[in-house]
Each structure stands twice: as structure tokens, then as C-alpha cells.
Structure 1
Amino acid sequence: MKAAVGETVSVLLLCEDSALAAALQAQLNSRGRELMQLKPSELLAQPHLADGAILVNALLTPGEPVTDAVVDIQAELISAVGPKLRCYLGLSDARVVAALDREEPVAENATPAPQGRDAVRLAAMEEQLLSASLQALILRTGPLIATDGDNLLSAFIKALKAGQALGLDDSQQSAPTPVGDLARVLSAMIDQLSCGALCRGIYHYQSSGATSAYAFAEVAYAHAGQYLATPPDISIDGDGWGWVTDSRVLRCERLLRNFGIKQLAWRSWLPKMIKTLCEDDCDERL
């Protein structure tokens, strides 16, 4: 379905992550686009909203449990509004390839190898969407970091400010992705899909720079140290804080090849994010 000249394509978002929703809203607003955030029940009750629209299903963020309810919701959406949509873009994560060799980044065309019930359900959701009779895209990402919510960066800075001693895992590599960077990518994809890009299938996006949780914490402290009264007490601990279960480093070549979207380094986002986290705390004490 190609957009007519001057046609405005609606963008619908299903998302419970307030940080990601706000970041995507800001990105689309900067491009003069409007975003309608809905609950699945609201969209199912008003199927006309899907007419010619792009649907972004971000109900699952990396590492979250995959319940039967979430699987059933996607099936209902595909059946009820799928034929009306311009395209359906669903978020996924690396759990679907958890059992593959961990030495190399995972390519987009790797055969799924889920490990555990959640991963099996997530892989089934991917297959369910890709086999549907509609333009469907899957974007695997994560782990996400933000200035609020439950993520490693915000939890780490909060613990540092409280003077806690922390142990962090130094073995598992991943690529933390700021929600602002993911929103940038989603917005750029939406722009091109709105103009009739016929892309479909599996894509990957993580910010560039594979790192362990411990190495990430060292970089985070390098920026946060100026706001803290005492140096941190952090150590390497295989049972300590780490990335969400089954995080992997993903190749992001197909996104660049088909959409022309380049990776940005997560390190470039940290100074502003950490300043926000630390200054918010200072403001609360005034």
C-alpha cells in the first residue's frame, strides 16, 4: 500500500513503557507527526483507527515475561485489525536466539533457538506475525536504559547515590540501548514505511558498543562521579547485577541496508542521561 501524495499516515502505539512511549512521542513530534497511544482493548473496540495506519506493538520490552495474555492479544490484533493496517511493527528481543553460540553477534537471518518458556513463546509470536497476511516487521532490540523505570542505568545511579556496595557481572556481553536511540530508529522506520517502503521481516537494533554490566558501570561512574560525594564501591561478581536474562549482541546490518539507519554509540547518550538522573535528585532535595 503506497501512500498518496500529501496523505497523512496514522501511527498507533501499544506500549506500557512510559519512557519509550515519551521518547517516541518526542521523536515523531519533531518530525511533525502525531502518535496515538492506545491500549489493545481500545484499538479492538475501534478497529476503524487501524485503517491505513502503522501499528507499533511495543507491549513487550526486553526481558519481560511473555504471558499467554500477550500472545493472545497479538493473535486477536492480527485477526481483527491486521488487514486494515498499512503495516505492523512488533518489538522483540534476543531471547529467541538465546541457545546460539555466544561468541559472535547474532545475524538477522539466524534460525531461532529459544531457551526457556518465555523465549519459546516470544519465538512463536514472531512466527505468528511473520506468517500473517500483512506487511509485518519485527525489530529485536535491548536491553533498554532510561532515566526512569526499571533498568540497569537508573538503578545503578540510584544505588551509587545511596552509597551501596555493588557487585556486577563482567562475563555477559550485550549492547545497552537508550530509549531515545530506539525511538530515533522507530521514527525513521515509520517515516519510510509511511512513504510506501515495502520492507518486511526481521531487523535488529542496538546502540553500538558491546560491554559487560561491570564495564558499563565503570563508564557510567566516570560521568556520574562529579555529582557524588564519595567514590563507588563496585566489584566484579558473577552473581551480581547484570543484563536481563539471555541478552545478546545483535548484528544490525539489515536495518542499515534496507532503511539506511546507522547505529549510534550508547556512550554518546550517557552524559545527558546521567546528568538528568543526578540533577533530578538534587532538585528533589531543594
Structure 2
Amino acid sequence: MNGLLVFGRSGQVATELARLAPEAWFLGRDEVDLSDASNCAAAILAAQPTAIINAAAHTAVDRAESEPELAHAVNAEAPFVMARAAARLGVPFLHISTDYVFDGSGERPWQESDPTGPLGVYGASKLAGERGVARAGGQWAVLRTSWVFSAHGANFVKTMMRLGAEREELRVVADQNGGPTPAADIASACLTMISAMREDASRGGVYHFAGAPDTSWAGFAREIMDQAGLSCRVDDIASSDYPTPARRPGNSRLDCSAIARDFGIARPDWRAGLAKVVTELRT
């Protein structure tokens, strides 16, 4: 992937991208201040890349409620400026987004064309970023994903393994459903998409990508305990029993048929991805 510029270095997806495409140029927050969009544009114009992936974001969902300006700057303004700079250079731009752009109602998996309706600041800032990318012109794609996990950074798997080793039982929300997604598979999907976009300037748009099968956070937690060999019991609770500053969508299921049709990318079995992550964390 010569000429690939990636925004992000230490995040979950960026770390996996670095494993798959070590020749790419990765820009961390110590090099580019994402809260100042002009820095993003300057970095792109200086690098003169042949393709760009934005794997950086303000992902602290609850903290975003108390720092909306920062969340908007990083998740909305920066991607717009990145996409506009990419358009000036005539190179494809791929931006990673989230299931949080939806309101989480119903039980049917969300399709790309469904009405959006974020419940909090994080989702609203990510939706604004999507719209900015589309508005910037040029060749672009948005990849919405959900429940990202890996052996890196802060995520649900690492938290459950830590708590599961310390406690006899855990109470986990069972009325939020979605597809856990290994960061390694997201990175692979990004590289497949950006490669296809480089070859065909007509390719792009909004796509969904999430692991299968869909489950609840409690179901996810039980699988983590099983694979990690932990005896901690997982008890189902309702979202109302675990209040958080930001509301979470009850239905985060994503319909991933479009990305399979257009790019040949199938939903990964997150249980297989989990096995790899558990092994990596243990070694």
C-alpha cells in the first residue's frame, strides 16, 4: 500500500493497520492535533499520499457528553477537512464511523439508507463527520462498524477479562444487541476497500461492517469468560440498571450485505477473532 496515509497510530484499528500495512505512513496525535483541523489538511498536502484512511477519533462516549466541542472538532471538523484535502489531491479517502449514528430502535439490522438519529454527543459528532466527508467532494467512503475489540487500548474484552479474574460474578447489560467486531478485521476491510477505490474512481459511499453473529453485551461477556477459562458468572441486567452519562442504542445490529456485494467482504465470526485476542493477551 505504497502512498497510504493513516490518521491514527495507537488506536485499535490503527494498530492493526500497522500490522497489515507497515509501509503506510501513520500519524499519531503527537504529530497531528486532530482538534485543529488545519493541521490535518497541512499534513495531507505535505505528504502527497495516494490514499488516506482516517482511523482516528474521539471515542470516549461518556466523556463526549461533557466535552462536546472537542468531540465535534475531532469527529466532525477534522474528517471534513481531511476529505476536502483528499479531494484537492484527487485521492480516495476512507473514514471509519459507528453504529451510534442510529437511535437504536427496533430489532431489524440497520441498512445504510436508514434514517439516522444519534442519542448523544458522540453519535451526533460522528454523523456530522460522515456528512462532512460526503460534502467535501472527491472520492470517499464511510465504514460504519460496532463494538470494536482487540488486544490493544481500552475495550470491552480487556475489561471483562480483568474483572472476570477478580470477581465471582458480573452484572452485564443484556438488552443492547449488536455485532462485536475484531479491529483486525476492520483493518483488513479498510485495506480491501481503499485498494478497490484506488483502482476504480467510481467506488465509494457508506457501508456497514460488523462481526457475526449478533449478540448482547451479556452474551459477549459470557463468551469472553468461556474462551478465557474464567469461572466468573455473568448475570443479565437491563440498561436502566446501569445508567451512564450517554445513552447507548438498544439495537446496534448492522446489515452488512452491501459491503459483501460490492467489495466481497463477508462478516467475520467475532468468536474466532476473540480467540486470537485472548491468546495474544495471555502471551
Q: How would you bin the TM-score normalised by the shorter chain?
A: 0.7 to 0.9
| Range with bigger deviation, 85-94 or 111-120 | 111-120
Q: Kindly tell me: are residues 47 and 174 of structure 1, through their superposed partners in 2, closer, same or farther at Cα, counting changes over 3 Å?
A: closer
Answer whether contact 1:93 1:142 (CA < 8 A) is retained. Answer: yes
Q: Distance in 1 between matches of 2:82 and 2:226?
A: 45
How much has 1:248 moved relative to structure 2? 0.5
Show the 5 A alignment for 1:36-185: 36-38=25-27, 39-41=31-33, 43-49=40-46, 51=48, 53-60=50-57, 64=61, 65=64, 67-70=71-74, 71-98=76-103, 101-163=105-167, 165-185=169-189
Answer whether contact 2:79 2:95 (CA < 8 A) is retained. Answer: no
Q: Distance in 1 between matches of 2:17 and 2:168?
A: 33
Answer whether contact 1:43 1:49 (CA < 8 A) is retained. Answer: no
Answer whether contact 2:77 2:132 (CA < 8 A) is retained. Answer: no
| Range with bigger deviation, 190-199 or 72-81 | 72-81
Aligned to 1:269: 273
RMSD: 2.6
The one-letter code of the counterpart of 1:45 is A
* CA displacement 1:160-219 (0-9 Å, x = unmatched): 122353101111111110111111111211222232352121101001110011111111
How much has 1:16 moved relative to structure 2? 5.3
The one-letter code of the counterpart of 2:236 is I
Aligned to 2:21: 28
Q: TM-score, normalised by structure 2?
A: 0.83
Alignment of 1:245 with 2:248, yes or no, is yes
The one-letter code of the counterpart of 1:12 is L
User: When the two structures are aligned, how many residues end up with a matched partner?
Assistant: 263
Aligned to 2:12: 19
Answer whether contact 1:52 1:86 (CA < 8 A) is retained. Answer: yes
Identity across matched positions, percent: 23
Q: Which ranges of structure 1 fall in alignment gaps of 5 or more residues? A: 1-7, 281-286
Q: Distance in 1 between matches of 2:44 and 2:268?
A: 37
Alignment of 1:234 with 2:221, yes or no, is no
* CA displacement 1:119-168 (0-9 Å, x = unmatched): 23322221121122211111000110111321111100011122353101
How much has 1:48 moved relative to structure 2? 3.6
Q: Distance in 2 between matches of 1:196 and 1:9?
A: 17
Q: Secondary structure at the match of 1:104?
A: coil
How much has 1:257 moved relative to structure 2? 1.2
The one-letter code of the counterpart of 1:235 is D
Answer whether contact 2:99 2:252 (CA < 8 A) is retained. Answer: yes
Q: Kindly tell me: are residues 257 and 134 of structure 1, through their superposed partners in 2, closer, same or farther at Cα, counting changes over 3 Å?
A: same
Q: Distance in 1 between matches of 2:56 and 2:6?
A: 9
Q: Distance in 2 between matches of 1:89 and 1:47?
A: 14
* CA displacement 1:223-246 (0-9 Å, x = unmatched): 111xx5xx213211223599x922
The one-letter code of the counterpart of 2:79 is Q
Q: TM-score, normalised by structure 1?
A: 0.82
**Aligned counterpart in structure 2 of residue 223 of structure 1, from 218, 222, 227:** 227
Q: Distance in 1 between matches of 2:201 and 2:267?
A: 20
Q: Distance in 2 between matches of 1:148 and 1:46?
A: 26
Aligned to 1:284: none
| Range with bigger deviation, 148-157 or 49-58 | 49-58
Q: Which ranges of structure 2 fall in alignment gaps of 5 or more residues? A: 34-38
Runs of 4+ in structure 1 over 4 Å off: none
